[in-house]
Amino acid sequence: MLIRQFRKYSPANILYAILIGLLISVGIFFNSSELLSKTNFSLDEPQALPVTVQDFISPLNGVFISLILVFMQGFALNRLVVNFNLLKTPNYLTVLLFVSLACALPDFLVFSPILLCNFIIIWMLSKLFKIGTINEVRGLLFDLGLMVAAGTLLYYPFIIMMPLLWISLNIFRGFSWKEWASPLFGFGVVYFLLGLMYFWLDRLPEFYSLLTPEIKKLSIPKNWEIKEFLILIPILPMLIFFFSALRKYFFKSIVQLRKSFQLVVYMISLLIISFFIFEAAELHHFLLMAPGLAICFAYYYTSAQNKWVYEPLFLSLIACILYLQYS
């Protein structure tokens, strides 16, 4: 079965992951024209450097490019998990789960700034996991502040990653005001240069509005369809099983591993909170949760014992994805 196969650290799983990704996303190619209205790529509203995807990429090509980016992100995330020994044994479960989650809804395969932000999240995780292993982290945190600022230029709700930097410091290290201030300097450099550009262009009022995004009223968007909630049927049990496995092995794991998973859980929680805060956050906002959820689910599937539970659970995820792609 699939999970047992991807538990092996075999190069053949690279090909299998690509084939599964193509299988569960093939339905979106037949409906790519319906995504035309969603492929508006811009830095923010008001647009700082407006670029419209429709001018140079067709919806079909946009989906194809998105798939390539998803595969690149999946393998990069899997390598990150293996390098930091987040799972009991090296395997390819992380890439399998990331590709599945990144293709879970048709909206996820739209070529968008959020898709690019996942590269930043994976890059940030590669640095955040190092915080507890090195002595001097101020330069590292400065770089992380730059990354968050770059992410906000693509997609402003990405600013919720800023509190994650301070949470990571609280998890891995004791309090030091210099370390806590370092991300602010990195973040400030990007927006200082951006403000300078707006000043030269005599567009300062637009820059001020860029810094004050609309806050969302607490409500479910009216354009959501009931069928889109189907994806929660396999995901919620996976989350429950993950927390059960984490609780079982939490104190048996090394300290660095425990803190790393605490960081991932906080990241997922912040992304959920940000959806209810920012007006710009729509359904495809949840694509940002794919890296964190893939790591969590890979941890569960690596330690799961009952194949009659974990194999059907993953197949139910695939079934829900296929239904949403073709319906």
The SS3 of residue 215 is strand
pLDDT digits (tens, 9 = 90+) for 61-75: 778 888 999 999 999
Tokens of 269: 């929680």
- Greater pLDDT, 202 or 62: 202
Confidence band, pLDDT 50/70/90 cuts, at residue 276: confident
pLDDT digits (tens, 9 = 90+) for 164-187: 999 999 999 888 889 999 999 999
d(CA 267, CA 125): 10
Lowest mean pLDDT segment, chosen from 143-157, 212-226, 251-265, 271-285: 212-226
pLDDT at 204: 81
The C-alpha torsion from 142 through 143 and 146 to 151, rounded to 10°, is -130
Largest Cα separation within the chain, whole Å, is 64
Backbone phi, psi, residue 160, to 5°:
-65, -15
CA angle 86, 139, 133 (to 5 degrees): 30
**DSSP secondary structure of 56-95:** T--HHHHHHHHHHHHHHHHHHHHHHHHHTT-SSS--SHHH
Tokens of 116: 């690019």
Q: Look-up: residue for tokens 């790529």?
A: 41
- In terms of pTM, does the model score above 0.85? yes
d(CA 56, CA 34): 17
Confidence band, pLDDT 50/70/90 cuts, at residue 56: low
Which long-range CB contacts under 8 A does 212-218 form with residues at least 24 apart? 213/44, 213/156, 213/157, 213/278, 213/279, 213/280, 214/278, 214/279, 214/280, 215/277, 215/278, 215/279, 216/276, 216/277, 216/278, 216/279, 216/281, 218/276
d(CA 274, CA 279): 10
- Is-contact 9 92, C-beta < 8 A? yes
Q: Look-up: residue for tokens 């996942």?
A: 118
Q: Look-up: residue for tokens 């990069």?
A: 76
Domain boundaries, the chain: 2-134+221-326
CA angle 24, 280, 211 (to 5 degrees): 140
Which residues is 215 bridged to in the sheet? 278
Average pLDDT on 281-307 reads 92
| Residues 6+ away with beta carbon under 8 Å from 145 | 162, 165, 182, 183, 184, 185, 186, 187, 188, 189
Q: For the chain, how many residues are written?
A: 327
> CA-CA distances (angstroms) from residue 56 to 83, 105, 322, 323?
38, 24, 29, 30
pLDDT at 229: 80
